[in-house]
Structure 1
Amino acid sequence: MSDQIAENLSAIRSRIIQACETSGRPATDVGLVAVSKFHPQDAVEAALKAGQRVFGENRVQEAASKFPALRETWPDLRLHIIGGLQTNKAVDACRIADVIETLDRPALSDALEKAAEKTGRLPELLIQVNTGNEPQKSGIPRDEADAFIKASMLRFGAKVRGLMCIPPEDEDPAPHFHFLTQLAQRHGLPVVSMGMSADFETAIAEGATLVRVGSAIFGSRPMTGS
Structure 2
Amino acid sequence: MTTIADRLSIAQSRINQAAQKCSRMPSEIKLLAVSKTKPVSDIIEAYQAGQRLFGENYVQEGEAKIIQLQNDYADIEWHFIGPLQSNKTKVVAEHFDWLHTLSRDKIAKRLNDQRPANKAPLQVCIQVNISHEDSKSGIHATEVMALAEQIQLMPNLSLRGVMAIPTATDDISVQQAEFSALARIYHDLQQRFDGIDTLSMGMSGDLDQAIANGSTMVRIGSAIFGERGT
Taking structure 1 as the reference length, what is the TM-score of the superposition?
0.91
Deviations 1:179-204 (A, max 9, x none): 11111111112110000111112111
Q: Distance in 1 between matches of 2:150 and 2:91?
A: 24
Q: Within 5 Å, which residues of 2 pair with 1:148-163? A: 148-156=147-155, 159-163=158-162
- The amino acid of 1:76's aligned partner reads D
Q: Distance in 2 between matches of 1:41 and 1:108?
A: 28
Q: Distance in 2 between matches of 1:73 and 1:103?
A: 29
CA distance change for structure 1 residues 157 and 77 in 2, over 3 Å: closer, same or farther? closer
Q: Distance in 2 between matches of 1:158 and 1:96?
A: 14
Q: Distance in 2 between matches of 1:48 and 1:157?
A: 28
CA distance change for structure 1 residues 153 and 133 in 2, over 3 Å: closer, same or farther? farther
1:158 CA displacement: 7.0
Q: Distance in 1 between matches of 2:203 and 2:223?
A: 9
- The amino acid of 1:205's aligned partner reads A
- Assess if the C-alpha contact under 8 Å between 2:165 and 2:201 holds in 1: yes
Work out whether 1:212 is the aligned partner of 2:214: no
CA distance change for structure 1 residues 74 and 157 in 2, over 3 Å: closer, same or farther? closer
Match in the other structure for 1:147: 146
Q: Within 5 Å, which residues of 2 pair with 1:103-118? A: 103-116=102-115
Match in the other structure for 2:193: none
Q: Within 5 Å, which residues of 2 pair with 1:128-207? A: 128-156=127-155, 159-170=158-169, 172-188=174-190, 189-207=196-214
- The amino acid of 1:216's aligned partner reads A
Q: Distance in 2 between matches of 1:6 and 1:134?
A: 36
CA distance change for structure 1 residues 81 and 158 in 2, over 3 Å: closer, same or farther? closer
Match in the other structure for 1:37: 36
Deviations 1:49-92 (A, max 9, x none): 11100000001110111122223222211000000111111111
Q: Distance in 1 between matches of 2:83 and 2:185?
A: 21
Work out whether 1:94 is the aligned partner of 2:93: yes
- What is the aligned-residue RMSD (CA, Å)? 1.7
- The amino acid of 2:107's aligned partner reads L
- Assess if the C-alpha contact under 8 Å between 1:163 and 1:191 holds in 2: yes
Work out whether 1:69 is the aligned partner of 2:71: no
Secondary structure at 1:187's aligned position in 2? Answer: helix
Identity among equivalent positions (%) equals 38
- Assess if the C-alpha contact under 8 Å between 2:200 and 2:215 holds in 1: yes
Secondary structure at 2:128's aligned position in 1? Answer: strand
Q: Distance in 1 between matches of 2:114 and 2:229?
A: 31
1:221 CA displacement: 1.7
Divergent runs of 4+, >4 A: none
- The amino acid of 2:165's aligned partner reads I
Q: Distance in 1 between matches of 2:83 and 2:157?
A: 22
Deviations 1:80-133 (A, max 9, x none): 0000111111111011101011110122112212212xx224411111011012
1:142 CA displacement: 2.1
